[in-house]
Amino acid sequence: MSDKNRSLGRFLKKVFFVDLIQGLAITLPYTFSKTITLRYPDDEKWIPYKRFRGLHTLNKNKDGKELCVGCELCQKACPTQCITVIPGEDKTGKGISDRIGYRWEIDLLRCMYCGLCEDACPTEALKLGREYELAGFSVQRQIRTKDELLNPQEIPVDFEGGVIVKARLVTDDKGIKVKADMSVQKKWW
């Protein structure tokens, strides 16, 4: 194409607002499409996909026995040294072996959610879950202990995620939480 034709093309594009029309052709349909704004936290809550790395969970086997054997591998694998494990002899029969994580603690302020601790765990006791509302009003609240992490998870480990569920606000001594009501689920899109 000669320089003259190219200049004419540019001129006609300007006169007929071709760029503007092309842009509008892309954006205008969104004006009439369904909104995807989440009514969070009053009505809806987003459940992330299975691969999401949120608050740690310590898990039990099908018989309700603690999978953590206090081997300390997660503590050693952690690059920020935010996990503290003190093993102990299991005289209560709560665990799967005669050794148990007597004390298991994590400092969330130092955690970068890399997942290396989960990879190091030989019994699959430790998983990074889908809890993402981790803000708190005190530094102490950011230390999570074994008792808290062993609580039954409201989102099952094997649940695929990627859905919006009903939300309900729960107030307890730790503050206000947005809990997930898994009975109502809709796809993200």
Binding site for ligand SF4 (CB under 6 A): 68-74, 77-80, 82-83, 85, 101, 106, 111-117, 120-121, 123, 125-126
Task: Burial-class residue 161 by CB neighbours within 10 Å (0-12, 13-18, 19+).
Answer: middle
In the bound state with ligand SF4, the residue whose beta carbon lies nearer, of 29 and 64, is 64
Task: Burial-class residue 13 by CB neighbours within 10 Å (0-12, 13-18, 19+).
Answer: middle
Q: Which residue type occupies 73? A: L
Q: How far is the CB of 182 from ligand SF4 (least distance, A)?
A: 25
In the bound state with ligand SF4, the residue whose beta carbon lies nearer, of 47 and 71, is 71
Pairing of strands 99-107, 83-89: antiparallel
In the bound state with ligand SF4, the residue whose beta carbon lies nearer, of 45 and 59, is 59
Whole-number Å distance between alpha carbons of 90 and 183: 37
Q: How far is the CB of 136 from ligand SF4 (least distance, A)?
A: 17
In the bound state with ligand SF4, the residue whose beta carbon lies nearer, of 22 and 81, is 81
Whole-number Å distance between alpha carbons of 157 and 135: 22
Q: How far is the CB of 126 from ligand SF4 (least distance, A)?
A: 4
Q: How far is the CB of 54 from ligand SF4 (least distance, A)?
A: 10
Q: How far is the CB of 101 from ligand SF4 (least distance, A)?
A: 5
Structure tokens at 98: 């005669």
Residue of 109, 103, 106 lying closest to 85 (CA atoms)? 103
In the bound state with ligand SF4, the residue whose beta carbon lies nearer, of 99 and 179, is 99
